[in-house]
């Protein structure tokens, strides 16, 4: 078998690779602070069941038939209404395309925009698994300096002016995976001021966690400052309803959204029509905002529990980013500690995490680790942090 040359660049997910190691050590006693998943106990299972059963009673069973590549028109209308309510943006329905998860939105954007050798600028650290969707198109990823407020605007402008063939920027401004950071309003404006100096530069704004804010005030998206059609916005129901549905969407300007729709037609013809119909019925029958408020309250309690336990048990050398929402907490340890090596000790102690190197385009971050607070009970979070603290203390000089 002779594979295409591009396959030499394609590699599996670092995070899922770590997950396989963790699974090999799996036991009922293992506390997985490594998971990047919502709390399944909070899935609206009964409501989704009630939204699903009537689909089988519809004449001609349209939810089981082929649908439009662009997506179910009812769902697109409801998403436009949701974005008006939750994101405070007036998005024309013609500018929305339903996708199979945000990951497909990244992939479609990459196909449309990137040629071999083009550069994608990313935060340091960032969600590299998302960028795996871009790797087959033979682009390069270069990290841009990031501080507590997100990507540094001055560093972005320097990168754009000095690095050849920068075509796209990938960012997660709301409760970033892995750090949990949310860019403040000032930084978002500074970022977009730089972007708009380069009209051919495109931004992919990945926003799967935006509605999971449990502290602080709403902050407008980058897309809301976009006057030149440079921002491709990705939204998803994965974190507020169920990731298994794989129902997400892209917002882009007129010319690009048409190109993305044509590309999607070649990828998969359409997203899952049945899942789209389930979401439509759920949204028509239920108050999604009330459900999101329930998630926020539960996740705040879990996040506060984890932060409190880290402060109580970790050595002072550990530096923690305290998020205002989302699903993750980032911990930086002294630079002489390699968290990839330390993972084996943690697994022996009955706890897991994701090593920091998994989130850097340049192989840095060996002293960082990502913790998830959404997928365990507060009791298991306490026990998991206590176990991890013991491992960390053993590695402190």
Average pLDDT, the chain: 95
pLDDT in tens, 320-360: 999 999 999 999 999 999 999 999 999 999 999 999 999 99
Closest CA to 63 of 282, 262, 234: 282
Q: Is the pLDDT of residue 19 over 80?
A: no
Q: Does domain 61-285 have CATH number 3.40.640.10?
A: yes
Is the pLDDT confidence value at 58 over 70? yes
- How far is it, in rounded angstroms, from Cα 103 to Cα 248? 9
3-state secondary structure at position 217: coil
Mean pLDDT of 45-54: 98
| CATH class of segment(s) 5-44+290-395 | alpha beta
CA distance 174 to 232: 15
For 172-216, how does the pLDDT look when each residue is reduced to its tens digit (9 = 90+)? 999 999 999 999 999 999 999 999 999 999 999 999 999 999 999
Q: Where in the chain is the domain with CATH 3.90.1150.10?
A: 5-44+290-395
By the 10 Å C-beta count (0-12 exposed, 13-18 middle, 19+ buried), 93 is classed as: middle
pLDDT value, residue 12: 64
Question: Which two three-digit tokens encode residue 99?
Answer: 């996708």
Of 213, 298, 246, 293, which is closest to residue 39 (Cα–Cα)? 298
- Do the beta carbons of residue 267 and residue 280 sit within 8 Å? no
pLDDT of 73-102, one tens digit each? 999 999 999 999 999 999 999 999 999 999
Res 20: pLDDT: 73
CA distance 168 to 105: 14
pLDDT at 15: 67
DSSP single-letter state for residue 6: G
156, 164, 151: which is closest to 118 by C-alpha? 164
Determine what percent of the chain is predicted with pLDDT higher than 70: 97
Distance CA 21, CA 11 (A): 17
> Could you give phi then psi for residue 205, rounded to 5 degrees?
-100, 105
Residue 130: pLDDT band (50, 70, 90) is confident
For residues 98 and 145, the answer to whether their CB atoms sit within 8 Å is: no
């Amino acid at each position: 078998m002779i594979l295409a040359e591009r396959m030499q660049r394609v590699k599996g997910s670092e995070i899922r690779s770590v997950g396989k190691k963790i699974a090999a050590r799996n036991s009922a006693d293992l506390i997985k602070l490594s998971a990047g998943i919502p709390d399944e106990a909070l899935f609206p299972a009964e409501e989704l069941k009630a939204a699903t059963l009537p689909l089988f009673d519809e004449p001609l069973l349209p939810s089981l038939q082929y649908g439009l590549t662009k997506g179910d028109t009812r769902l697109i209308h409801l998403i436009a209404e949701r974005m008006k309510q939750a994101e405070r943006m007036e998005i024309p329905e013609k500018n929305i395309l339903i996708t199979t998860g945000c990951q497909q939105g990244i992939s479609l954007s990459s196909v449309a925009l990137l040629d071999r050798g083009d550069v994608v600028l990313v935060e340091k650290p960032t969600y590299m698994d998302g960028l795996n969707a871009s790797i087959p198109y033979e682009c390069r990823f270069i990290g841009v300096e990031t501080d507590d407020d997100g990507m540094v605007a001055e560093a972005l402008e320097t990168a754009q002016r000095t690095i050849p063939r920068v075509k796209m920027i990938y960012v997660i401004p709301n409760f970033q995976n892995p750090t949990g950071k949310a860019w403040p309003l000032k930084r978002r404006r500074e970022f977009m001021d730089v972007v708009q100096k380069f009209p051919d530069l495109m931004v992919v704004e990945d926003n799967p966690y935006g509605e999971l804010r449990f502290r602080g005030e709403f902050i407008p998206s980058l897309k809301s400052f976009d006057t030149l059609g440079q921002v491709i916005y990705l939204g998803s129901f994965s974190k507020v309803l169920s990731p298994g549905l794989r129902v997400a969407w892209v917002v882009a300007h007129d010319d690009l959204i048409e190109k993305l729709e044509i590309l999607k037609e070649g990828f998969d013809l359409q997203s899952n029509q049945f899942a789209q119909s389930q979401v439509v019925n759920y949204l028509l029958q239920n108050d999604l905002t009330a459900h999101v408020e329930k998630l926020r309250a539960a996740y705040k309690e879990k996040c506060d529990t984890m932060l409190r336990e880290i402060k109580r048990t970790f050595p002072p050398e550990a530096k923690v980013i305290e998020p205002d929402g989302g699903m993750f907490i980032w911990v930086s340890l002294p630079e002489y500690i390699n968290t990839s090596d330390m993972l084996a000790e943690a697994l022996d102690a009955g706890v897991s995490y994701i090593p920091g190197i998994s989130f850097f385009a340049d192989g840095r971050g060996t002293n960082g680790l990502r913790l998830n607070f959404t997928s365990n009970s507060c009791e298991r979070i306490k026990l998991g942090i206590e176990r991890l603290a013991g491992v960390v203390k053993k590695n402190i000089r």
